[in-house]
Structure 1
């Protein structure tokens, strides 16, 4: 007795392979379309958020009611911020000024000479913080200074584009303290000339990204480093140095 072995029909096998290839192509095209649409939506949302961020910065105004301010904090990043904070202090705004995030190689005397401030002002009322490595560090260094002084209303001097993230970090580190904005402005964001300036565009977009990540970090409850020099070196954080 013989047994016949069934062999697949080559035509049928070829058609099945072709159908499978067509299905894969359709799935690939569909996936590519979805990815393209998602990318366009993502870029549009980022662009909308970015321009909303720049509009917010453009509307920032320096606080006018500074009579009841306890102290001033200037976040380093340029002498113009420090100059403005020192000018406010000499006008009688606040009891003391903290300059946060100063490089350890920069002495109080060097800062005084660079800003042309009176020796008496530095001697009586200026504290220099060498601990902060970044904006989070600024917030934690400022929080320590505020606790030492018992302040409840603090004026914040920094660049306008840096102000939203600074206020966010400061409020998280010192939730019971009222922080008032005193932005330092380098460019008029109410006009569109900054869009043609690659440096300004890059600076603003980088800051927008950092601000968005900071908001996401607090929303998700993600823990982060203290941003303090002593913590990074495994030592106990130091308080701001008084000069």
Structure 2
């Protein structure tokens, strides 16, 4: 009996990992508009994509969550070629986050301050599921979260680690509800 249960658990884990690795979330259609954009710092392409969406007028405000405390707005603007008018009016650099959990807390506070009712979340495809789970837990009721995953080429190791982080977070959420 124990062997069958163990084999069943391994199969569930294996199929879950295969689904996680093969069916990565994709980009949001360009036509979707939201009240705000939140981008989580990390892998290449995230910030660039969020700035493109902002410049295209798909949302009026952008929070860049998880910016290194040493980075100044002028340096950020120079690195990503952000026009001064856009930097001044529409881009907030968030310095309080250092991991996905603190990204969620920082994002929720910013969304509340900006009274946003719809948010486009920008992060890497492999990171999207856990980031959306964390942020969804923290957001005020009634805020719609749109997932805009930036395509990447994650390694097997990255996928393996992220899958287990997602499982751990989902288990913790379940435990907290009990």
- TM-score, length-scaled by structure 1: 0.67
Quote how far apart the aligned CAs of 1:93 are.
1.5
Give the number of the structure whose alpha-carbon radius of gyration is greater.
1
Instruction: Tell whether the 8 Å contact from 2:40 to 2:46 is kept in structure 1 after alignment.
Output: yes
Q: What are the ranges of 5 or more consecutive residues in structure 2 without an aligned counterpart? A: none
Q: 1:44 aligns with which of 3, 7, 11?
A: 11
Q: Secondary structure of the equivalent of 1:72?
A: strand
Quote how far apart the aligned CAs of 1:218 are.
0.7
Q: What are the ranges of 5 or more consecutive residues in structure 1 without an aligned counterpart? A: 1-32, 188-198, 223-243
Aligned residues: 176
Q: Determine the structure 1 residue equivalent to 2:136.
A: 171
Instruction: Provide, for residues 29-52 of structure 1, a one-character-per-residue CA deviation record: whole Å limited to 9, x for no partner.
Output: xxxx946x5554433221111011
Residues of 2 paired with 1:96 and 1:38: CA distance? 50
Q: Is 1:99 equivalent to 2:58 in the alignment?
A: no
Residues of 2 paired with 1:60 and 1:34: CA distance? 39
Relative CO higher for 1 or 2, CA cutoff 8 Å, sep ≥ 6? Answer: 2
Change (3 A) 1:116 1:64: closer
Residues of 1 paired with 2:143 and 2:63: CA distance? 15
Change (3 A) 1:54 1:96: same
- TM-score, length-scaled by structure 2: 0.90
Residues of 2 paired with 1:74 and 1:206: CA distance? 21
Q: Determine the structure 2 residue equivalent to 1:60.
A: 26
RMSD: 1.9
